[in-house]
Amino acid sequence: MKARVIVTLKSGVLDPQGKAIEGALKGLGVDGLKSVRQGKIFDIELDGEDPAGARRRLSEACERLLANTIVENYAIEIA
């Protein structure tokens, strides 16, 4: 089974890397940008065919390692 975990900064948390990317894109002439926020994507392959069990295991992985839940949110997508 395949899954994707998307980790993003919570709203209100400063994102200096996103601001740097935004400035670089504007410097390259990319128009119409309002703001840029960066995040992380983890593509994960799991054993088994139980989506609920996979979601539980991935949620535990996010809480323990993949996301800093003080300043980050995460979303789990099961393919």
Domain boundaries defined on the chain: 2-78
d(CA 46, CA 27): 41
22 and 35 Cβ atoms separated by less than 8 Å: yes
Q: What is the pTM of this model?
A: 0.88
Query: Which residues in the chain come in under a pLDDT of 70?
Result: none
73 and 56 Cβ atoms separated by less than 8 Å: no
pLDDT value at residue 59 = 98
pLDDT value at residue 19 = 97
pLDDT value at residue 9 = 97
Residue 13 sits at φ, ψ, to 5 deg, of: -85, 130
d(CA 49, CA 77): 14
pLDDT value at residue 17 = 97
d(CA 27, CA 36): 14
Q: Does domain 2-78 have CATH number 3.40.50.2000?
A: no
